Amino acid sequence: MKPSRHPKKRMVSSMPAAHYSLYAWASRMKVRGTVFGLLCIFCLSTLSLLLVWSLAPTAHRGVKPSRFPRHLEELKVVAEFLKDYRDEHYIYTLFMFSLAYLYKQTFAIPGSFFMNLLAGALFGRWLGGVLVCPLTSMGASFCYLLSWTFAAPLLEKYFVETIRRFKMKVEENEHRLLWFLLGARIFPFTPHWLVNISSPFLGVPLPTFSLSVLLGVAPYNFLCVRAGGILADLKSASDVLDAKTLCELLLIALVVLGIGMKAKKRTPPIDADGQQQEPLVTTTHPHA
């Protein structure tokens, strides 16, 4: 008989009814506690961001936007207001933009494309690019830590198979982990939010994770920031991420993965009897 691929399910199915009910109740309470903790942090962060924006110096022209832009035309209106505001309060504009960017990255809120365009419109190609790359890495690292602290019960409940597949890929590429992650980041169709929240449970160390984000998303970020310099002329997102650009990103990802494929696996040292020595430590903390 083949051993079960899901020992946790086999263990649960063999429980007495009373014990299973207690297990299910404890599992539900764990998930609810996780959701409550995440909601508290999200609400506090949102209120803090709103407070900083409400205390901003008064704008002499235009009406201060009250929400993140939802489409390109709204983004153009916000950019025009912030350009005038930047000329009057440059440091505060830079500070507020950085906070908003970190907020969206930390909580995996869609919209980094618009934020990158806005960075190009406000700060230019080079400063905008240099600004958003570390912000992306910092925000993704905060998301990693938030997931490590709270998200385990949710991932166990809703993403078990996805995490299992990801973990197999990480283990297969452990000897070239940075190259593997770089390729995944550059690849234009990777679900970055899922990589961010699952990485703590895949054995990906935080320093490796942060570096892969910093370098891996740089091509995409600079493309978007460069397009932000001509934001007023853009008609749709396809003007920035057209088929040619996506193919270029795909080609870069394949080159990075090709370089990573040349990395060799580390083999344990050979002892006096000709046997491979087992490593003394087989697991590492994901933050190491």
C-alpha neighbours within 13 Å on the C-beta side of residue 32: 6
Query: Is 146's pLDDT higher than 70?
Result: yes
Per-residue pLDDT reduced to its tens digit, 204-243: 999 999 999 999 999 999 999 988 888 877 888 777 877 8
Paired strand residues for 276: 270
In this structure, are residues 177 and 256 in contact, taking their beta carbons and an 8 Å threshold?
no
Contacts of 82 (CB under 8 A, 6+ apart): 93, 97, 118, 121, 122
CA dihedral 238, 240, 246, 250 (to 10 degrees): -160
pLDDT score at 91: 94
pLDDT > 70 in the chain, percent: 81
Mean pLDDT of the chain: 81
In this structure, are residues 208 and 177 in contact, taking their beta carbons and an 8 Å threshold?
yes
Angle of helix 90-106 relative to helix 125-150, nearest 10 degrees, comes to: 40
Reported confidence tier of residue 23, pLDDT bands at 50, 70, 90: very low
Query: Is 88's pLDDT higher than 80?
Result: yes
Reported confidence tier of residue 145, pLDDT bands at 50, 70, 90: very high
The Cα 88–Cα 75 span in angstroms is 20
The Cα 111–Cα 36 span in angstroms is 25
pLDDT score at 26: 54
Top-confidence residue, 68 or 136 = 136
Pick from 10, 103, 13, 9: which is nearest to 50 by CA?
103
Pick from 119, 271, 247: which is nearest to 186 by CA?
247
Per-residue pLDDT reduced to its tens digit, 262-283: 765 655 454 555 554 443 333 3
Per-residue pLDDT reduced to its tens digit, 89-101: 999 999 999 999 9
Query: Is 108's pLDDT higher than 60?
Result: yes
pLDDT score at 29: 64
Pick from 206, 213, 190: which is nearest to 147 by CA?
206
The Cα 105–Cα 142 span in angstroms is 8
Query: Is 103's pLDDT higher than 90?
Result: yes
- What is the chain's Cα-based Rg? 23
Pick from 135, 94, 80: which is nearest to 112 by CA?
135
Taking residues 191-214, report their average pLDDT: 94
pLDDT score at 155: 86
The Cα 201–Cα 151 span in angstroms is 10
Taking residues 96-115, report their average pLDDT: 94
Top-confidence residue, 8 or 133 = 133
Other CB atoms closer than 10 Å to residue 288's CB: what's the count? 8
| DSSP string across 252-275 | HHHHHHHHHHTPPPP-PPB-TTSP
pLDDT score at 113: 92
Top-confidence residue, 13 or 161 = 161
Reported confidence tier of residue 133, pLDDT bands at 50, 70, 90: very high
Query: Is 127's pLDDT higher than 90?
Result: yes
The Cα 151–Cα 286 span in angstroms is 15
Top-confidence residue, 89 or 154 = 89
Top-confidence residue, 73 or 5 = 73
Top-confidence residue, 256 or 272 = 256
The Cα 151–Cα 63 span in angstroms is 39
Other CB atoms closer than 10 Å to residue 231's CB: what's the count? 20
